Amino acid sequence: MSYGASTAWATLRAALVPTFPQLEEVEAGGALTMDLGTDGWLLEVTPDGRVLCQYGMALEDVMTLLSDGTPEDLGTDEIAKQAKYYIQPAVGKYRAILLKSGFTEESEMNDAYVAARFERQVDLTNPPAVQDLMSWCQRTIGVTR
């Protein structure tokens, strides 16, 4: 990260933390995250200028849900497909409004989880705009429907 970007990130962090005291830093100098309500959605602001709204599921949780069947016979790819199936109702509730609001959708998968990630670039040097977007995400996704 360049000096200008790191200065902008430090300024943005200083502006966001009082407004969103629930923000947590996963690793020093890294992204800030917070839960969006109780439905399992997560909001993340990254030092490279992205706001992410994501919903995912741990593959271990999918295996627990499938325990009546034979999940031990399924490979990681098959379990990931099941995870995508399980997360679709929650993701489907907000997909259209997130996409209409300028977010792009990506899928993320590793050996631990599968997630639908909605991403939007933000200007780190404009804290009020980032705060507005985060508040919008909180109002839109952070409420139970």
Q: What are the C-alpha distances in Å from 96 to residues 29, 61, 104, 113?
A: 32, 27, 11, 23
In CATH, what is the architecture of 3-141? 2-Layer Sandwich (3.30)
pLDDT value of position 11: 93
DSSP alpha helices (H): ranges in 20-105? 59-65, 76-92, 95-100
Query: What digits encode the pLDDT tens for the residues 8-62?
Result: 999 999 999 999 999 999 888 899 999 997 788 999 999 999 999 999 888 788 7
* Tokens describing residue 61: 């949780």
Query: What digits encode the pLDDT tens for the residues 73-105?
Result: 667 677 777 778 888 888 999 999 999 999 999
Query: What digits encode the pLDDT tens for the residues 94-134?
Result: 999 999 999 999 988 887 888 899 999 999 999 999 999 99
- Residue 79 and residue 73: Cα distance in Å, rounded? 10
User: Per the confidence metrics, is the pTM higher than 0.85?
Assistant: no
